[in-house]
Structure 1
C-alpha cells in the first residue's frame, strides 16, 4: 500500500490530486499515514500533516486544520514562508474566515505563486474524529473545490473510517480527481507480527521466560489469536501490549487471554479495544433499539435485515438507520449485516467489558425470546402457539 501511495504522490501527469484511504476502526489507517509521512519527509516532499484525535482541544477541532497546515508549510518551506507571511500580515482576519477561504488564501495561492520544485503532499488522518459531521463535510468540499481550479504542486491524502456521511460526499466532492484505497484485512501480516512480537517478549523477559522452551507460544495458540483478530492489528497489538507487561509473567498474561478469565480486581487485557468499541457505540442515539439489534447479531441467528426488522417489530429501514454510524464495526450489505471484527462478539457478550452494551443480560435475552415466540405464534395455529408458550 505504501508503494502505491508513493507512486500516486509522485505522478506529475495524474489528475488524481486526492487519495482517500478508508477502512474500519483499528484496521491500521493511522499506521499507514504515519509511515507515509516518514517516507515523504525522507524525500523532502511532506508539505504538512494533521492527525485528528476525538476530544482533543486542538487536534479534535476542524477549524484549526488549514491554519496548522499553513503554519507547517511556512515553517518547513522557506520558499513559501514569505508568501504565506505576507498574506497574513495584509489580512490577519483570514485565519478566522471560512475553511474554504483559509485553504485558498493560506495554502493554494502561495503554492501556485511560488516555484516549489516538486510535488508536496498534505496528510490528513482520522477525519471522522474531527468534531462535527458538518465540518468534516466542509473540509472535504473545500479541498474538492480548490484543487479543481487548475494545476497544483500539491496532493491531499485523507484517511478516515467509512462513515456514511463521508462515503456520501466523497464521490461528489472529489469527482474525477481522487483515488480510493480500502485497507484489506491481512491474516498473514498479523501472524507475522504476533510471531515476531512473541519471540521478542520471550527474549526480553529472560528472567521469567528462562524455563519456557522456544518457540513460544504453541502454533495452535497463535492460530487462535490470528483467527480472533479477523486480520486487524487492533486486536493483535492489544494482546501483545497486555502480555508484554514487565510486572507479570508473559505465560500467565497470555493464559488469561486464551482462557478468558477476568478477575474483578485486575485490569482488562482489552482496555484499549473496549474503549474504541464503546466510543463508537456511544454515538448512536437510538441506544435501546441498537442494543436489541446487537442482541440478534450476537445470537448468530443469521437473519436477513428484513427478518430482523420483522422479528423486533421495527419499521422497514429502521435497522439501516440505527446502524448508520457503525460502518466501522459492521458491514451492512443489501440484505445482511456482517460484523467486521470477531473480537467484537466477545466484547458485546462480556458484561465487564461492554457495560451498557452488554447483550447477554437477562433482559436482552428475555426480550429476544419473547420476539421469537411471538414470531413463531404467527406461523402456527392458536393451540400450537399456546402449547409452545407454555
Structure 2
C-alpha cells in the first residue's frame, strides 16, 4: 500500500517549485502546515512528490509518502492510509518514541484497524506522533485518485487534527477538483 510508480524529476526541471517546497518544509517558523500542488493530470505532480520523498530519505529526514492510485485497490480508498503511514513512521530511524507509543496502542487495542478513519488516525498516527518533537513530512500524492468520500474524510481529519502536531507538515498533490479545492483553498 502507498504505492509509487513514478520517477524523480529530470535534472534542471521544476526548479522553482522544488525550491519553494524545500524552503517551506525546512522552515520551522512557518505556520503553514499544508503545501498543496494542484494541476491537471500529467503535469508532473507525482514526479515532484517522488523527488521530495527521495531527497528527504537520502538526507535521513523523517518523510512518509503515500501515493494514491486508481490502479491499485489498496490506494484508491483511505482504508489502508492510517496503518500504512503508521508502519512507515515506525520505520523512520530517529522516531523511536513513535515506535514505542505505537506498540503500546497496538498492545492495548487489537481491533484498531476496525475503527473508523478518524479514530484510526488518532490512535495510529496522531497520538504516537505527539510523543516526538521531530519534524515530519507527510507526502500525499494523487489525492484525487482516492474515492471522493474517502478523500474528504481524510482531508477533514487532517485539517481537524494537524494543529495538534505543530512539527508535522503535509505536502498534497492532486488535480484541482472542486471538493479538494473547497477543503484546501485557504491552507
Q: TM-score, normalised by structure 2?
A: 0.84
Task: Name the counterpart of 2:151.
Answer: 136
Shift of 1:76: 2.4
| Other structure's SS at 2:31 match | coil
Contact 1:111–1:153 (Cα < 8 Å) also in 2: no
Equivalent pairs, count: 169
CA distance in 2, matches of 1:112, 1:13: 18
CA distance in 2, matches of 1:95, 1:169: 26
CA distance in 1, matches of 2:77, 2:176: 20
Task: Name the counterpart of 2:171.
Answer: 157
Q: Deviations over 1:4-37 (max 9, x none)?
A: 1011011111111111111001011001000011
Contact 2:56–2:62 (Cα < 8 Å) also in 1: yes
1:122 aligns with 2:129: no
Task: Name the counterpart of 1:23.
Answer: 39
- Between structures 1 and 2, the one with greater helix share: 1
Task: Name the counterpart of 2:106.
Answer: 88
1:146 aligns with 2:127: no
Task: Name the counterpart of 1:168.
Answer: 182
1:99 aligns with 2:114: no
Q: Deviations over 1:141-181 (max 9, x none)?
A: 110000123x522111110001122112223xxx4xx3xxx
Q: Where in structure 2 are there 5+ consecutive unaligned residues?
A: 1-16
Written as runs of structure 1 = structure 2, the 5 A alignment for 1:1-390 is: 1-77=17-93, 78-79=95-96, 80-116=98-134, 119-130=135-146, 132-149=147-164, 151-171=165-185, 175=186, 178=187
| Other structure's SS at 1:76 match | coil
CA distance in 2, matches of 1:147, 1:74: 19
Contact 2:77–2:150 (Cα < 8 Å) also in 1: no
CA RMSD across the alignment = 1.5
Which structure would you say has the larger RCO, counting Cα contacts within 8 Å and 6 or more residues apart?
A: 2
Task: Name the counterpart of 2:11.
Answer: none
Larger Rg: 1
| Other structure's SS at 2:84 match | helix
Contact 1:47–1:121 (Cα < 8 Å) also in 2: yes
Q: TM-score, normalised by structure 1?
A: 0.42
